[in-house]
Amino acid sequence: MSEPVAALALRDIRRTFHQGDRTLEVLRGAELELQPGEIVALVGPSGAGKSTLLHIAGLLEKPDGGDVLLDGRPAAGLSDAERTALRGRYLGFVYQYHHLLPEFSALENVMLPQMLVGTGRAVARSRAHELLTMVGLAERESHRPARLSGGEQQRVAIARAVANAPRVLLADEPTGNLDHATSDTVFRQLLALTRGAGLAALIATHNPELAGRMDRIVRLEDGVIVPG
């Protein structure tokens, strides 16, 4: 029986930044595999390079060395247009700040990424309503972000991230701006939505209690990934 193909694989990822005369090696051969349906916590001290790693995994930034494989397909040789297309269909993102478009309602914010990849308006609306219902916001879907609480805004952002049924979800401190009670609610809904869809997820967090609720923990330390 053949080994399952990892939903996301990072192979010998290297990233160096140059600041004047200084050279800062942030990633020195980081390696990681996420299987379909697996939720992994990424931990490490501030400045360790967790956000850089997530940007590279999400094809938002190119590494100086190594490669990102999505379903076994290497990304290194792809054009910018091919990377953008793959990112739109294959990857979902949740950030510490929600980045919702303020002039659109919650429903429209979840519809937009679907329409950008060619989904019809009626289908996108139905899918957005379904997702907002799943995160407990059906009655708030006509509200613009300014009329939503911080926790509600982040739940809309989570619904938006999975709107195109991605294979991999990448989240960078998704509850970092929320109080403890709201953080717990948002994180429970993030896990439920991710598990329900069978996504692979890599979630950076400073919260050890949240990290402990995931399938496993990995730590970014001195530019490489080690078991947490």
90-132 tens-digit pLDDT: 899 988 777 899 999 999 999 999 998 889 999 999 999 999 9
* 224-227 sheet: strands from edge to edge: 91-94, 168-172, 200-204, 39-43, 216-221, 224-227
Enter the pTM of the model: 0.90
Q: What is the pLDDT averaged over residues 191-200?
A: 88
pLDDT digits (tens, 9 = 90+) for 23-56: 888 999 999 999 999 999 999 988 888 999 999 9
Question: Which pair of tokens denotes residue 77?
Answer: 């040789």
Q: What is the pLDDT averaged over residues 129-154?
A: 92
CA 133 – CA 131 distance, rounded (Å): 5
CA 224 – CA 78 distance, rounded (Å): 25
Give 142 or 134, the one with higher predicted confidence.
142
pLDDT, position 2: 58
Instruction: Please state whether beta strands 73-74 and 224-227 pair in parallel, antiparallel, or not at all (unpaired).
Output: unpaired
Give 24 or 143, the one with higher predicted confidence.
143
Q: What is the mean pLDDT of the chain?
A: 90
pLDDT, position 201: 94
Question: Which pair of tokens denotes residue 34?
Answer: 């996420």
Q: Which amino acid, 164?
A: N
If we measure between CA atoms, which residue out of 220, 228, 227 comes closest to residue 29? Answer: 220
**pLDDT for 177 beyond 90:** no
CA 105 – CA 86 distance, rounded (Å): 26
Q: Which domains does the chain have, with CATH numbers?
A: 8-102+159-227 (3.40.50.300)
Question: Cα 9 from chain centroid?
Answer: 15
